[in-house]
Structure 1
Amino acid sequence: MQPTVRTHPVLIGGRWRPSLAPPGDLHAFDPARGTPLEERYPISGWPDLEAALSAAQAAAERLGQLPAEARAEFLEGYALRLEANRERLVATAAQETGLPLEPRLNSNELPRTVDQLRQAARAVRERTWTQPVLDTARNLRALRGPLGGAVLVFGPNNFPLAFNAVSGSDFAGAVAAGNPVIAKGHPLHPATTRALAELALEALLGSGLPAATLQLVYHFPPELTPALVAHPAVACVSFTGSRAAGLAIKAAADRAHKPFYAELSSVNPVFVLPGALEERSERIADEFLASCTTGSGQLCTNPGLVILPSGPVGERFAALARERFERQAPGVLLSAAGLRSLEAAVQGLIAAGATLLTGGTRRQPGWRYSNTLLRVNARAFLEAPEAFQTEAFGPVSLLVFADPQRMPEVARALEGNLTGTIYAHSGERDDALHAALSALLRPKVGRLANDHMPTSARVSAAMQHGGPFPATTHPGFTAVGIPASITRFTALQCYDNWRDSRLPPELQDANPLGIWRWVEGVWTREGVNGRAQSRSK
């Protein structure tokens, strides 16, 4: 007789409880071996979602009545718990994703997750994200505040900690702004998500925030998405994942007139100019290999398109890159579905006219794909630019060979991307071409990098991890970088002719919080009419 396998509970209404009439269940896999893991997790039906929506609406109303300090205390308490449970968290994430413990999960991703939670806590205390504006002549005042409903967060597969729906940047931004989160976990790492949510609930119960500030369902049938998104308790939706899935959810959000922020796809073009190659081609080839194969290429900032000068200098670089790609063992992909999608993308590039230089095959054990390079000339690329900008989510890059005079034509044909990169000579040799390309790339990418590969989205107030469509659905916002990432989950709120004592403290004459405000056209921390703030500068 087979032992009974326990199906894990969902987190709804501030407690872990069994799923209500689940239509099915799921389990994760060990990608390094391609074998299933035993633990089962429910696929939630509408009864779970309805209960979560009701609890989220009550939590949103309660959050609006609590001091912001409680949100900061929760975020900091959560960060402390992540650090205290580091070993267990990274081991679980490594098993479910095949990502290496070191340096990826333990030394990079978990510290980044902790740091962005703490940055969000500081932003809550500093109130920079509220952007207070005072027009005392007309007695009008405005600031950014919470949305008054839940943020529905769809977590991605490739960052089990730093972008997880229960711990990542979308989660941190939504909570910092004063909104509850309904998290839709990713089915590739449910145990990691459950472990994170358990720690989050502990921190919530110790902070004074409503326990339903975070709720978690692991999965639900896609046909329930329109009703979920359209429910009055949902104020906003955020998504990181494939373009096809994201656009389907966006259509539901558009029909319901709900804000929708998504990161969808990006090939992140890298232009390597002649002078740069003549000066340091070996070093650039090393950087290219590291960038394209980090995380087995499963990064949204992977350099999927590299534009090289045609002729001997470009051919030499291609040979250097090919030798490096062949020498390095392939990494583990996240899922069998991802492997199939990657194979289809490579075959699509070949069908469009690209030539395979190396790779293009499955490898064993588990889910692996050989490090892959393809090539095409600028003429063919310009005849079918859309086909050659297909995102291949893995250790794959397409080399486009172009006469330097035609590189601007390639730049004009590019879609919107998260990043763009230009490698140029350290002196003045490439200056004219660099200037032409940067002018063309600037409106097409969120982050324009110079002389380094694009695979880094550091958590900084100056970071833009966004860009024009199809990279994201709105070029004016970022998914990384606080306080800017918080503003996605806010509403601009105006107070007209209010008595000073009834205003939020951010807008009161005396500026009791001592924060920066836009008063009569000037940024200042002084109070109105000479009234000094209570907190020192």
Structure 2
Amino acid sequence: MSLFDTHRPLLDAALAALSDRGHWTPFPELPSPKVYGEHAQAEGQAQVEALLGQDFPLTQPGELGRIAPERSPWGVPLGTRYPECEPQALLTAAQAAEPAWQAIGPRGRVGVLLEALLRIHRQSHAFAHAVMLTTGQGPMMAFQAAGPHSQDRALEAVAVAWQAMSTVPEAARWHKPQGKNPPLVMEKRFEIVGRGVALVIGCATFPTWNTFPGLFAALATGNPVIVKPHPQAILPAALAVRVLREVLAEQGLPPEVVQLAATERPEFTQALATDAAVASIDFTGGRAFGQWLAANARQARLYAELSGVNTVILESTDAYRAMLDNLAFSLCLYSGQMCTTPQNLFVPVSGIATDEGHKRFAELGADLAAAVRKITQHPKVGPVVLGALCAEATLARLDQARAWAEEGRARLLLDTEPLPHPDFPQARTRTPLLLALEAPDETLLRQECFGPISFLVAVPDAEHAAALAERLIRSEGALTLAGYTTDPAFEERLVRLSLRARVALSLNLTHSVYVNQAAAFSDFHGSGGNPAANASYAGLAFVADRFVVVQRRWHVQPEMSATQPAAGA
């Protein structure tokens, strides 16, 4: 039985989930020993720790030496050494591997990818530990984001790719009546062909969740892939590349269909991105390099998720405490280092109506600060929810934001401070910084302050808040918009805003769903319609343009068989 046939039930279930858009996952998100095995967590951690300070077992063409650039935000020594390869050698090997990957067709590719994905799933604890060590995510978040949730997104991309490819028949008999004359008859074949080498550039904070959609979409549609991870988070990408290469080799396919481009040299990344052989680029990261790619890698289709200013509009609520708790958790989760974390919270200067009476702007700010402190000061909750700061640059942003308060441009509602971690005394940690802007300062609101920094912004009224939010989102981009209101008319105003600004809208979240979160098979991550992202995980447009259809045709006499003439005949 082929791998495709073996895994067909999983593919069919994923396709059904895409049509239904309800909750579905084949990968349990709780790391229960009953699901993953009694010793799975210990074995996964041991697998990763055996790689620390060692050469990662990966042999690729053009190796120039080994590099070990990762520095754990937890203060844990890492030291895994990865091959740094000459860019042209990787590109040449990828092009040489492409015909074999093309030849097995959509069914063959999907089967291989589903087999690899299930093997990745069985190593979920190893991926979780690798992501935790390299990114600063807390253990539970790392398990979910690096394990089941990333795997969901990979499966979603494969399913959408199959959905797109399966609309193209392999063959057709074209029969055109000619009246009294014999009909015109042609035999046609249609072949799905990838566009060429795909470059997938990963980010430091979510090295699997943001990498897997592009990686699996590109592979499924027939493209060899070079994975260029962020220097801070190579290990999770290397683990995935290793699994894919193992499955490829077992199937008699060239492992160079998937390669790892570990490097700290910007010129190596630029050489890969601008080479004529690279037909598509997936990128998650800052706007500056995203814009550089758009300007310089013109030969490639760019699927980019960039910076943005996520917004919350508070007009009224009938669940004040639950609203505060939900917002506070959103601000604390992974210390605000998510591309969906709220940054600008707009509140009418006169305050909002609530189930606890009218809350003025200053009172709401104090209550929100208290809700954040309730999380950060809980000894068992705070360290787990906040995790560690992935990059030292985030500390500089916090210092800059605190300076705005010292300069009088903002008022300090909640100061940031280190949060001691019981297991990692050297961890780089900070609690959220919350600033109040009594008058909107658009120079502050327009810039993404990545990390645990947010603004409570006083505006004349709710309508002004909606207009300002729309203007900022349309110019600067956003992945999320949240609103709190008990007024049906204003709710409709928020809906119209989200449609015009082309941004996902969450309304009145007060339970255990947060604006930061996006569920595969149900939520579209990014709309592709504002400057924060030009594509959406994992919509049809994100996948279908990664392949072309090449046809061939020939005449067939009505009474003859449809045997294809030999090449050159």
- Normalising by the smaller structure, the TM-score range is 0.7 to 0.9
Alignment partner, residue 483 of structure 2: 422
Query: Is the CA contact 1:459–1:482 (under 8 Å) kept in the aligned structure 2?
Result: no
Alignment partner, residue 451 of structure 2: 394
Please state if 1:335 is matched with 2:395: no
With over 3 angstroms needed to count, the CA separation of the structure-2 counterparts of 1:495 and 1:369, relative to structure 1, is same
Please state if 1:223 is matched with 2:267: yes
Identity %: 25
Please state if 1:367 is matched with 2:428: yes
Task: Mark the structure with the bigger radius of gyration.
Answer: 2
In structure 2, what is the Cα distance between the partners aligned to 1:208 and 1:112? 30
Aligned counterparts, 1:303-452, within 5 A: 303-312=342-351, 313-315=359-361, 316-329=363-376, 330-344=386-400, 347=403, 353-361=409-417, 365-377=426-438, 380-381=439-440, 384-402=441-459, 403-415=461-473, 416-425=477-486, 430-452=487-509
Please state if 1:266 is matched with 2:320: no
In structure 2, what is the Cα distance between the partners aligned to 1:413 and 1:177? 37
Alignment partner, residue 542 of structure 2: 485
Alignment partner, residue 181 of structure 2: none
SS at match of 1:413: helix
For normalisation by structure 1, the TM-score amounts to 0.77
Residue deviations 1:76-116 (CA, integer Å, cap 9, x gap)? 111221222223222222222221222x1224541122223
Residue deviations 1:248-277 (CA, integer Å, cap 9, x gap)? 2332213xx322121111221111212x2x
In structure 2, what is the Cα distance between the partners aligned to 1:347 and 1:500? 78
Equivalent position amino acid for 1:355 in 2? R
Alignment partner, residue 112 of structure 1: 149
Alignment partner, residue 235 of structure 2: 191
With over 3 angstroms needed to count, the CA separation of the structure-2 counterparts of 1:363 and 1:127, relative to structure 1, is closer
Please state if 1:241 is matched with 2:302: no
SS at match of 2:113: helix
Residue deviations 1:46-66 (CA, integer Å, cap 9, x gap)? xx2111100111222332222
Alignment partner, residue 524 of structure 2: 463
In structure 2, what is the Cα distance between the partners aligned to 1:393 and 1:144? 44
In structure 1, what is the Cα distance between the partners aligned to 2:556 and 2:310? 50
Number of aligned positions between the proteins? 466
SS at match of 2:281: strand
In structure 1, what is the Cα distance between the partners aligned to 2:151 and 2:367? 38
With over 3 angstroms needed to count, the CA separation of the structure-2 counterparts of 1:356 and 1:25, relative to structure 1, is same
Any stretches of 5+ residues in structure 1 without a counterpart?
502-507, 509-537
In structure 2, what is the Cα distance between the partners aligned to 1:341 and 1:369? 12
Query: Is the CA contact 1:289–1:324 (under 8 Å) kept in the aligned structure 2?
Result: yes
In structure 1, what is the Cα distance between the partners aligned to 2:252 and 2:556? 28
With over 3 angstroms needed to count, the CA separation of the structure-2 counterparts of 1:132 and 1:500, relative to structure 1, is farther
Equivalent position amino acid for 1:203 in 2? V
With over 3 angstroms needed to count, the CA separation of the structure-2 counterparts of 1:342 and 1:87, relative to structure 1, is same
SS at match of 2:283: strand
Any stretches of 5+ residues in structure 2 without a counterpart?
1-51, 177-185, 352-358, 377-385, 421-425, 563-569
Once the two structures are TM-superposed, the CA of residue 214 in structure 1 deviates from its matched residue by: 0.6
With over 3 angstroms needed to count, the CA separation of the structure-2 counterparts of 1:264 and 1:371, relative to structure 1, is same
Equivalent position amino acid for 1:187 in 2? P
Alignment partner, residue 21 of structure 2: none
120, 124, 127: which one pairs with 2:163? Answer: 127
With over 3 angstroms needed to count, the CA separation of the structure-2 counterparts of 1:227 and 1:89, relative to structure 1, is closer
SS at match of 1:374: strand
Query: Is the CA contact 2:124–2:146 (under 8 Å) kept in the aligned structure 1?
Result: no
Query: Is the CA contact 1:417–1:446 (under 8 Å) kept in the aligned structure 2?
Result: yes
Query: Is the CA contact 2:200–2:225 (under 8 Å) kept in the aligned structure 1?
Result: yes
With over 3 angstroms needed to count, the CA separation of the structure-2 counterparts of 1:280 and 1:159, relative to structure 1, is same
Query: Is the CA contact 1:354–1:375 (under 8 Å) kept in the aligned structure 2?
Result: yes
SS at match of 1:368: coil
Once the two structures are TM-superposed, the CA of residue 226 in structure 1 deviates from its matched residue by: 3.8
Deviates further, 153-162 or 446-455: 446-455
